[in-house]
Structure 1
Amino acid sequence: MHNEEFSTLAARVREAASRIYPEVATLRRHLHQHPELSFEEFQTTAFIREYLAGLGIEAEPPLMETGVIALLRGEGEASGQRRTVALRADIDALPLQEENRHDFCSTVERCMHACGHDMHTAMLLGAANVLNGMKDALKGDVLLIFQPAEEKAPGGARPLIEAGLLKKYNPSAIFAQHCFPSVKSGSIAMCKGSFMAAADELYITIHGQGGHASAPHKTRDPILASAHIITALQHLVSRVSPPHEPAVLSIASINGGHATNVIPGKVTMMGTMRTMNEELRALLHEKFDRTVKQVAAAFDCEAEVEIRSGYPVLFNDPDMTDIAWEAAKEFLGDEKVHQSEKLMTAEDFAYYLRECPGSFWQLGTGLDGSAPGNLLHSPTFDPDEHALETGMGMLSYLALRYLAG
């Protein structure tokens, strides 16, 4: 296709996205009012299936108890081998009590879409609607993945892949986006290569010998040992991780003792490790285990260490990111496409990118003057709904543009 044809295609998508925006906003508000936690998204699944069926798009046989897979077949003529592009949205919510004051706040106690998955789902439904009305220009097929359980390890991506999702439908590329209030609404931000961190959960138990706090010399104090362990662990980033390699190690919880005059016999700690490099990740795992145990031993205590490996590094394929970047500039304009910094958050979309080339970007949902609490995973997260139009349009145009290439 020539540039003029892509320009016409982008205009058609903009018109369609603008026209159905009110409908997609209504979908988003319904999803926001009825959030469901990871692996429990049964009503959400039924809602997605019903909406797609209304478009004449039948869901594929399920690969998990929740979530929806659908295949939208284009009617345009491909110049070469017919291809499939996959678009993914996550559908689960978080265990948070909403504190916003909208008339569409969550109706479920201690459950909220505080990470934008209601937005992601509504945008992919909107993209399905847009593309369904442009089958004549769709020179291939679009695999719609409404994935459960992104928020809770082991996540929904890996089980779907293990169940044969990518082998069955064989997409040649996969794309997704995530709401970010730090990026201005109407814009997107992209990053080539390693974009999001591997995230591992850290669990430590220090066993000592409790006793009266007035006679600490008769105890083996696990609280003192824990304090030194926390301090010692900080050297793993400053002295083990190379200065040019991003890494984070945070002990976020410490529990032990229940009285002012009793030294406890046990202390537990929890934390997180974030890395952007798999070799460094493995090295830090080894050093973490050794540091904890050796420092505990120096205080005559014993340590149990558990490292639960979470999602891997999210690596955006450079070529696919270039394709998405160019499509975004054509659709949104140069001034609304930005270079993103690397992020230490984690995403199970990383599993798809290990098996299929693709890219994952930040979708701006922030406004000038947004409240300080408008943050991801916050009970007052409040994305600008007009980002729905940007997001569904971007997904739609990218799919059309990629399949026409």
Structure 2
Amino acid sequence: MTPDRTSGLSMRIREQAEAVFPVIQAIRRDIHAHPELSYEEFRTSAIIHEYFKALGIEPEPQFLETGVVALLQGRAEGPLIALRADIDALPLSEENACAYSSQHPGTMHACGHDMHTAMLLGAASILAGMRDELSGSVLFIFQPAEEKAPGGARPLIEAGLFKRFNPSAVIGQHCFPNVPSGKVALCRGSFMAAADELYFTVSGQGGHASAPHKASDPVLAAAHIITAAQHLVSRVAPPHEPAVVSISSIQGGHAPNVIPSKVVMSGTMRTMNEDLRRLLHEKLHETVRHVGEGLGVEAEVEIRQGYPVLYNDPEITRHAAIACSEYLGRENVIDSEPLMTAEDFAYYLQEKPGTFWQIGTGLPEQDRSNMLHSPTFDPDENALSTGAGLLAYSAIRFMDYFAGEKG
């Protein structure tokens, strides 16, 4: 596609994104006021379902109890590009005071999934208006339960999503308040971490605190386990490989003069490399057991595997950066460093090539408390038109790319 054509296409889509903004802003505010937790997104799914019917697109039969998948077919056969948004909220009480604050105490869209949903609906509206010009098709995935392991992506895939559809690429985006509104940030390769939950149980022989020699102290053993777990990061993980082991909860005992018989702890392990992840799992089991044996207690760790490493295909991400630059201007496309947060979009990228970028929702004057998973998270709504237009433009440019254009 020539520069004149890309310029004309981007201008046209920006105009349509601005035109659809009031509609998707109203939907975002409605969803924000009525947040639903993972696998409870019935109202949200119904809104999405009706929106697509109004566009003349019949959603696919449900793969899961909640969530919506819809296919937009262009005028001609061509590549299939999948665009994904997540739709669930968090178990968190909102502290913002606005007309569309959460009406459900203890539940809030504090991670921007209401924004993601509205953006993808806006992209669907733009692309539906251009369906006679599309040389390919677009698959819209509104996925439930990103916030609750094992997430909604893997069950959706296991339910046959990619047996029914075979996209050439899967594209997603996530609101980030530390990225200025109007900009996007991309990262090639490993972008987000594998996240595993750690649950430790240390069992000994309780006794009087004045006679520790007559007890088998699980508190002392727990302290050594914490230190030994940090040793794994500093002496087992290569210095160039990011890894985090954090013990964030410890419970045991109830009196200052009583050695308890059991201590339980919990924490998290984050890695950016699946081979290192497996090695640390093995070493952590060995370390906990050996420390316990050396101190005369029984110690074990249960590792509950969470989302895998989110790996952005380098070539797809390179082309995404080109498309983003064409649409937003090169000055508004920045590089992102890898993040130790986790996302179940990683499961899609294990099956299909694709990329996941940060879309800016931050303002220069915003309060420092305006962070993801915060009760005061308040993204800039102008990002709705940015995100909707960028998804629509990127889908078309990826059709060009997979049809043979390598610009």
Alignment TM-score > 0.5, same fold: yes
The structural deviation recorded for 1:20 is 1.2
**Separation (CA, whole Å) in 1 of partners of 2:34 and 2:206:** 48
Task: Give the structure 2 partner of residue 243 of structure 1.
Answer: 239
**Separation (CA, whole Å) in 2 of partners of 1:298 and 1:369:** 54
Contact 1:72 1:141 in 2 (8 A): yes
Within the alignment, does 1:193 sit opposite 2:189 as a pair?
yes
CA displacement 1:323-346 (0-9 Å, x = unmatched): 111000000001000010001111
In structure 2, give the amino acid aligned to 1:61.
P
Task: Give the structure 2 partner of residue 304 of structure 1.
Answer: 300
The 5-angstrom pairing of residues 109-128 of structure 1 reads 109-128=105-124
Aligned match for 1:272, one of 268, 273, 286: 268
Within the alignment, does 1:400 sit opposite 2:396 as a pair?
yes
The structural deviation recorded for 1:220 is 1.1
Task: Give the structure 1 partner of residue 313 of structure 2.
Answer: 317
Which of 216-225 and 109-118 deviates more?
216-225
CA displacement 1:148-180 (0-9 Å, x = unmatched): 111111111111111111121111111000011
Task: Give the structure 2 partner of residue 149 of structure 1.
Answer: 145
Task: Give the structure 1 partner of residue 254 of structure 2.
Answer: 258
**Separation (CA, whole Å) in 2 of partners of 1:9 and 1:177:** 21
The 5-angstrom pairing of residues 13-24 of structure 1 reads 13-24=13-24
CA displacement 1:183-217 (0-9 Å, x = unmatched): 11110000111111111111100001112223222
The structural deviation recorded for 1:252 is 0.9
**TM-score, with length taken from structure 2:** 0.97
Task: Give the structure 1 partner of residue 52 of structure 2.
Answer: 52
**Separation (CA, whole Å) in 2 of partners of 1:259 and 1:121:** 50
Aligned residue for 2:36, secondary structure, equals: coil
CA displacement 1:122-141 (0-9 Å, x = unmatched): 10011111111111332111
**Separation (CA, whole Å) in 2 of partners of 1:208 and 1:103:** 55
**Separation (CA, whole Å) in 1 of partners of 2:12 and 2:131:** 12
**Separation (CA, whole Å) in 2 of partners of 1:174 and 1:145:** 10
The 5-angstrom pairing of residues 61-72 of structure 1 reads 61-72=61-72
In structure 2, give the amino acid aligned to 1:218.
K
The 5-angstrom pairing of residues 271-350 of structure 1 reads 271-350=267-346
CA displacement 1:67-97 (0-9 Å, x = unmatched): 000001122x46xxx1110000000111111
**Separation (CA, whole Å) in 1 of partners of 2:365 and 2:219:** 44
CA displacement 1:252-284 (0-9 Å, x = unmatched): 111111222222111111111011111111110
**Separation (CA, whole Å) in 1 of partners of 2:289 and 2:400:** 57
CA displacement 1:209-248 (0-9 Å, x = unmatched): 1122232222111111111110111111111111111111
In structure 1, give the amino acid aligned to 2:177.
P
Task: Give the structure 2 partner of residue 355 of structure 1.
Answer: 351
**Separation (CA, whole Å) in 1 of partners of 2:329 and 2:133:** 22
Contact 1:38 1:151 in 2 (8 A): yes
**Separation (CA, whole Å) in 1 of partners of 2:330 and 2:8:** 17
Within the alignment, does 1:384 sit opposite 2:380 as a pair?
yes
Aligned residue for 1:385, secondary structure, equals: coil
**Separation (CA, whole Å) in 2 of partners of 1:268 and 1:50:** 48
Aligned residue for 1:234, secondary structure, equals: helix
**Separation (CA, whole Å) in 2 of partners of 1:295 and 1:363:** 45
**Separation (CA, whole Å) in 1 of partners of 2:280 and 2:243:** 9
**Separation (CA, whole Å) in 2 of partners of 1:22 and 1:403:** 28
Matched residue count? 401
**Separation (CA, whole Å) in 1 of partners of 2:208 and 2:40:** 47
Task: Specify every segment of 5 or more residues in structure 1 that has no aligned partner in the other structure, as ranges.
Answer: none
**Separation (CA, whole Å) in 2 of partners of 1:274 and 1:137:** 44
Contact 1:137 1:400 in 2 (8 A): no
Task: Give the structure 1 partner of residue 405 of structure 2.
Answer: none
Aligned residue for 2:175, secondary structure, equals: strand
In structure 2, give the amino acid aligned to 1:125.
L
The structural deviation recorded for 1:43 is 1.2
In structure 2, give the amino acid aligned to 1:63.
F
**Separation (CA, whole Å) in 1 of partners of 2:186 and 2:235:** 31
Task: Give the structure 2 partner of residue 222 of structure 1.
Answer: 218
**Separation (CA, whole Å) in 2 of partners of 1:216 and 1:101:** 54
Aligned residue for 1:85, secondary structure, equals: strand
In structure 1, give the amino acid aligned to 2:397.
R
In structure 2, give the amino acid aligned to 1:299.
L
The structural deviation recorded for 1:304 is 2.2
**Separation (CA, whole Å) in 1 of partners of 2:25 and 2:67:** 21
**Separation (CA, whole Å) in 2 of partners of 1:212 and 1:47:** 62
Task: Give the structure 2 partner of residue 7 of structure 1.
Answer: 7
Aligned residue for 2:317, secondary structure, equals: helix
**Separation (CA, whole Å) in 2 of partners of 1:293 and 1:272:** 18
The structural deviation recorded for 1:66 is 0.6
Aligned match for 1:89, one of 50, 68, 85: 85
How large is the RMSD of aligned CA atoms in angstroms? 1.0
Contact 1:187 1:336 in 2 (8 A): yes
Task: Give the structure 2 partner of residue 159 of structure 1.
Answer: 155
**Separation (CA, whole Å) in 1 of partners of 2:32 and 2:181:** 19
Task: Give the structure 2 partner of residue 38 of structure 1.
Answer: 38
Identical aligned residues as a percent: 65
Contact 1:138 1:404 in 2 (8 A): no
Task: Specify every segment of 5 or more residues in structure 2 that has no aligned partner in the other structure, as ranges.
Answer: 402-407
Aligned residue for 1:306, secondary structure, equals: strand
